[in-house]
Amino acid sequence: MTPVAIIFDFDGVIADSEARANLSLAESLTEIGMPTTYDESLRDYYGHNWQETQRRIEARFGRPLPADFRERHRERARARFMEGFDAVPGASAFLRTLGPMPRAIASSSRAEYIGWALGLFGLGHHFGGHVYSADGWDRGKPFPDIYLAAAKGLGVDPAQCLAIEDSPTGARAAIAAGMTVIGFCGAGHIVDRAAHGAMLRQVGVHHVALSFDEIALPLFSA
């Protein structure tokens, strides 16, 4: 099946953000007496929207987060992003190859942050109004809701969409939506790309790409 549209996850697919985001979260949690390492943050919270992340944190530590935690954490993360935040290598060039093919973003992150980052990268024109955020939703990834919303927004049958996802959580969401899924391993937080690709294959992705150079139209119809 050759796809009619492409739906991208954002963090770890378009934005090379997961290392900075998870370093910041580990530091923010440790600061308030919930000791967390970078590896633990990546293992336990990667790919989820904030609502699910908060649920997981509070279940792990057995107490609620402070009321101002999210805002204070945003300030920490924003400062780290400004140190050299950029798009995933190859993302801009890949988007330029798509021509008029409809595309969207389906992300667990805040819409305001996604818009800011797209502007920083000079990539906002590729998506127009088709940026869909599951932040604030009770059912974020791995439920399919955000992918189904993106397909509906594009006016395309989910079964005719290709999804590009880097996290197991996100991959499960796109698979549950009935999409063809490429497990993407090209962002900076993925140290062992072969092992990460193998993990995504176990989740059920249809293809694995170690970089954007490995995503080409012939692959879409394989």
Query: What are the DSSP calls for 92-136, one per residue?
Result: HHHHHTTTT--EEEEESS-HHHHHHHHHHHT-GGGTTT-EEE-TT
Per-10-residue mean pLDDT of the chain, 222 residues long, equals: 92 94 96 96 93 96 96 92 91 94 96 94 96 94 97 98 96 98 94 94 96 72 45
Residue 215, burial from CB neighbour count under 10 angstroms (0-12, 13-18, 19+): buried
Domains of the chain: 5-17+85-220 (3.40.50.1000), 18-81 (1.10.150)
9 as an active site residue: the answer is: yes
> Beta 131-133 vs 161-165: how paired, if at all?
unpaired
pLDDT at residue number 222: 43
pLDDT at residue number 1: 66
**165 contacts: CB under 8 Å, gap ≥ 6:** 9, 13, 171, 173, 174, 181, 182, 183, 184, 200, 205
pLDDT at residue number 220: 52
pLDDT at residue number 81: 87
Task: Look at the block and give the residue holding tokens 């955000």.
Answer: 146
Using DSSP's 3-state secondary structure scheme, residue 164 falls into strand
- Predicted confidence (pLDDT) per residue in 56-72, tens digit: 999 999 999 999 999 99
**Contact (Cβ atoms closer than 8 angstroms) between residue 177 and residue 9:** no
Q: Which candidate in 9, 16, 145, 166 is catalytic?
A: 9
- Predicted confidence (pLDDT) per residue in 195-205, tens digit: 999 999 999 99
Q: Which candidate in 11, 16, 145, 166 is catalytic?
A: 11
